[in-house]
Structure 1
Amino acid sequence: MRRPSPSTTPFCHVTWQRHGGRAEEMAYALGGRAVHVYPGALAARRLVLVRYAVSVLLTAAALVRLRPRAVVVVNPPVVPGLVVAAYARLTGARFLLDSHTSSFGVKGNAVAARTLGITRWLGRRSSGVMVTTSSWVAEVQRWGARGLVVHEAPPAWQVAPAVRSERPQVLFVGVFSSDEPVAEVVAAAALLPDVDVLVTGDVDRAPAGMVEAAPSNVVFTGFLDQQAYRARLEQSDVVLALTTEPTSVMRAAYEAVYARRALVVSDWPTLREVFPLARHRGNEAAALADGVREALSDDPAAAADRAEQALSVQAERWDDQLDAMRTALALPVPTPQGA
């Protein structure tokens, strides 16, 4: 079995998702490269098999070119994991499976449920499976694999400090997936007439009639690229990150903390543990409206202090998770500059 030479790329993060931000940020944190494969011209559902075939070729070509000694690969779908597993088998590279909650067949992901056997197979051949909660770690261990709780790296962007506007803006970050209580957010907006509520995500995926029937203070932004998303986040006073899935840890909630913005999250035990300084509310309109009002009631000094405390907790947790990833992938700890 041929081992990658010392001159190769130390690490790659492979993703086939529409957004490549997570891969780019983790690659930067681990001193490597992101391999973001998403042929946008083939995005239509009827072209999925063609897109997957092209993506397999592009992924394999990138791995051959970069020859990483360690790889993280996002799951679902399982196909890029199979490509990375084959590469690891041929070269002796280590890999971690970056398994989103939906990869376990929850959140209405029927395809992931049908391919869960492949996910288990990949997990047993990996150096670890990255998950959101200790409960998923226990599930992965039942497969005979190693589980690691890993969330989100610091973002590549920065935003200006929060400045409370006369008419506050609340940003609900989502993609209209099955676990997002979008209807409840729209109903909460009706209880907050002096606040603008921005809802992200491709409006073609919105439930029929929702956009037309929404109150006038609801703005459906459509899909936001990274630059537009950063701008919306910077303009926001409060971020809503909500889910009906108890084991989800939303990237949007992490981004809100990194941006030092007030945060309202769904009231699940996992989210209470991960975001102890957020406002935790049930996914009902009245409760969400109450959470927004409470977040907006803080005076600027109290809000800034709360945001800094939340950021400190998050940064310390990320350092621990980063160390666990380095250990699993046998990556060296970088030497501090000037050492």
Structure 2
Amino acid sequence: MGTIATIAWVSYHRRTELLAEHLGSTLHFVSAGRQGDLLRLPWRYLVQTRRTWSILVRERPDVILVQNPPIFLALVVWAFCRSHGGGYVIDSHTGAFVSPGWARTLWLHRLLSHSALTTLVHNVHQEDIVARWGCPHFLLAYTPGDFSVSEPVSLGNGFNVAVISSFREDEPTDAVFLAAHRCPDVQFYFTGNPHILGTEVLAQKPKNCHLLGYLPYRRYVGLLRAADAVMTLTTRDHTLLMGGFETLSIGKPLITSDWPVLRDYFYLGTAHVHNTPADIAEGVRAVQADHAKLQRDILTLRDIRDEEWRQKIEEIRSVMWQGTTSG
């Protein structure tokens, strides 16, 4: 069996790290400058291209797994495979399909997916898109992780909810704050950098909402383990949340948004809520009232998803090596 290199143009991404671990791949997070700085974007891509090419020349992998977005990383890897041989797999995240900026590059995504060994997609909506392109594709949602190593976190008495958050625009943070007003006996612990929140949103935060800031990963896992339930919400349809996968791996009841893809995937041990204060509060109360059953159900779902994963990772390996040997 040959070698695999995994490349992502970000400073860190847990799913990509887990995929590399499961595939026995080398892992390279190639970052440069500050994300979001559009004026320096051409410079950043140039630096990342040179670093990526240098890594690939040094390792000469048989298969390269690339995280998308940005799709331009896949373009660089396509060029490398054309000149040096080997094949590549595109791991296309939700943003590659639905974010306004990346949606404008779907024509390039389609061309590169035609040449790829396969394109990994996260849900059936994305699978339908790549299937219509006539490109090889593989649906891989849940990526299990080993969360046995963590830093103990002590929470207060009563019912505690960990809220996985980055405070981005697709998260209904204001609605969660207002929902917390309706659940004064419940403590809500938010991850993520709160400094990006506007003053109007922060003004709605009640005393039972605790902003913990960005947590080191061991402490983050400790928080999820210490909580009675975990909440991760999105206002964006067709999105499977990594926080949901982490919650499933740890085995905690989940509160997540009531989108079809999330309802279909997390169909046990989960309260699905509309992104409104009243519905979020009702979901918290439902988990609080039926906690023991939801705890058992989420463990059952984890067993089901773990078995699916074991089958899927073997199929991915087969696709990779069949593609390189036939090419």
What TM-score results when the alignment is normalised by the length of structure 1? 0.86
Selected match of 2:288 from 296, 299, 316? 296
What CA distance in whole angstroms lies between the structure 2 residues aligned with 1:57 and 1:82? Answer: 13
Is 1:61 the counterpart of 2:54 in the alignment?
A: yes
Is 1:224 the counterpart of 2:219 in the alignment?
A: no
Q: 1:73 matched to which residue of 2?
A: 66
What CA distance in whole angstroms lies between the structure 1 residues aligned with 2:146 and 2:57? Answer: 27
Displacement of 1:159: 6.0
Selected match of 2:165 from 150, 174, 178? 174
Displacement of 1:194: 1.1
What CA distance in whole angstroms lies between the structure 2 residues aligned with 1:156 and 1:96? Answer: 24
Report if aligned partners of 2:178, 2:204 keep a CA contact under 8 Å in 1.
Answer: no
SS at match of 1:118: helix
Cα gap change, 1:237/1:331 in structure 2, threshold over 3 Å: closer, same or farther? farther
Q: 1:204 matched to which residue of 2?
A: 195
What CA distance in whole angstroms lies between the structure 2 residues aligned with 1:208 and 1:60? Answer: 44
Q: 2:123 matched to which residue of 1?
A: 133
Report if aligned partners of 1:97, 1:130 keep a CA contact under 8 Å in 2.
Answer: yes
Report if aligned partners of 1:200, 1:224 keep a CA contact under 8 Å in 2.
Answer: yes
Displacement of 1:196: 1.5
Q: 2:14 matched to which residue of 1?
A: 21
Is 1:253 the counterpart of 2:235 in the alignment?
A: no
SS at match of 1:216: coil
Report if aligned partners of 2:92, 2:120 keep a CA contact under 8 Å in 1.
Answer: yes
What CA distance in whole angstroms lies between the structure 2 residues aligned with 1:198 and 1:164? Answer: 9
- Amino acid in the other structure paired with 1:139: I
Report if aligned partners of 1:162, 1:237 keep a CA contact under 8 Å in 2.
Answer: no
- Amino acid in the other structure paired with 1:31: G
Deviates further, 191-200 or 322-331: 322-331
Selected match of 1:281 from 266, 270, 273? 273
Displacement of 1:129: 1.5
Q: 1:336 matched to which residue of 2?
A: none
Displacement of 1:44: 6.4
Q: 1:236 matched to which residue of 2?
A: 227
Displacement of 1:197: 1.2
Report if aligned partners of 1:29, 1:153 keep a CA contact under 8 Å in 2.
Answer: no
Cα gap change, 1:163/1:207 in structure 2, threshold over 3 Å: closer, same or farther? closer
Displacement of 1:153: 2.2
Report if aligned partners of 2:7, 2:66 keep a CA contact under 8 Å in 1.
Answer: yes
What CA distance in whole angstroms lies between the structure 2 residues aligned with 1:189 and 1:16? Answer: 37
Displacement of 1:240: 1.0
Q: 1:185 matched to which residue of 2?
A: 176
Selected match of 1:34 from 13, 27, 39? 27
- Amino acid in the other structure paired with 2:24: G
Deviates further, 163-172 or 124-133: 163-172
Displacement of 1:198: 2.0
Report if aligned partners of 2:233, 2:257 keep a CA contact under 8 Å in 1.
Answer: yes
Is 1:263 the counterpart of 2:254 in the alignment?
A: yes
SS at match of 1:246: coil
What CA distance in whole angstroms lies between the structure 1 residues aligned with 2:212 and 2:155? Answer: 21
SS at match of 1:196: strand
Displacement of 1:203: 2.1
What CA distance in whole angstroms lies between the structure 1 residues aligned with 2:111 and 2:160? Answer: 45
What CA distance in whole angstroms lies between the structure 2 residues aligned with 1:163 and 1:281? Answer: 27
Give the gaps of 5 or more residues in structure 1: 1-5, 333-339
Displacement of 1:204: 3.3
Displacement of 1:263: 0.4
Report if aligned partners of 2:177, 2:204 keep a CA contact under 8 Å in 1.
Answer: no
Q: 1:3 matched to which residue of 2?
A: none
Selected match of 1:121 from 111, 114, 137? 111
Displacement of 1:282: 1.6
Q: 1:102 matched to which residue of 2?
A: 95
SS at match of 1:314: helix
Q: Percent identity?
A: 28
Cα gap change, 1:282/1:60 in structure 2, threshold over 3 Å: closer, same or farther? same
SS at match of 1:14: strand
What CA distance in whole angstroms lies between the structure 1 residues aligned with 2:7 and 2:205? Answer: 38
Task: Give the RMSD, CA atoms, in angstroms.
Answer: 2.5
Report if aligned partners of 2:253, 2:291 keep a CA contact under 8 Å in 1.
Answer: no
Cα gap change, 1:235/1:48 in structure 2, threshold over 3 Å: closer, same or farther? farther
Displacement of 1:299: 5.3
Cα gap change, 1:165/1:223 in structure 2, threshold over 3 Å: closer, same or farther? closer
What CA distance in whole angstroms lies between the structure 1 residues aligned with 2:11 and 2:175? Answer: 26
Displacement of 1:17: 2.4
Give the gaps of 5 or more residues in structure 2: none
- Amino acid in the other structure paired with 2:235: T
What CA distance in whole angstroms lies between the structure 1 residues aligned with 2:212 and 2:116? Answer: 39
Report if aligned partners of 2:68, 2:74 keep a CA contact under 8 Å in 1.
Answer: yes
Is 1:321 the counterpart of 2:304 in the alignment?
A: no
Selected match of 2:148 from 146, 158, 168? 158
What CA distance in whole angstroms lies between the structure 1 residues aligned with 2:75 and 2:10? Answer: 16
